[in-house]
Amino acid sequence: ARATNTQSRRGAFLDSVSDRVAEAAAFVGMAVGGVASPQLVVLAAVLSLIVSYTRARAESLGVGLAGVGVGERAERLAIIAVAAIIAGAVQAPHIMDYALALVCVLAGITIVQRAVRAHRSLDA
């Protein structure tokens, strides 16, 4: 849509929803496939949803948070994808646990970064 200059609010909404569905599907796949600790999968999924929620809520209040945080969606999914490739190549499934732990840490940091930025912007 950006390439053809046909962006719309409806398209932006659908893009955001489809991103959440894809991210949830990745976590469900890990849980069902048993490739990582169920507790880590759930924690990573919950923290990832909170990262997305903090941005959406702040933006609904007029505070832009695009690019704020060390663990945005692209980084989280890249970590998971690289770990899955390595885990499959070297037959080391525990690598997914390490990757999810890293995702949890980065998501937690991002939540704090976004909350601080939003709080400061809303106080101004």
3-state secondary structure of 93: coil
| Catalytic status, residue 19 | yes
Q: Are 75 and 113 in contact (CB under 8 A)?
A: no
Q: Are 70 and 113 in contact (CB under 8 A)?
A: yes
**Catalytic pick among 15, 19, 97, 123:** 19
For 55, the token pair is: 């941005």
CA 32 to chain centre: 19
What positions carry a catalytic annotation?
19
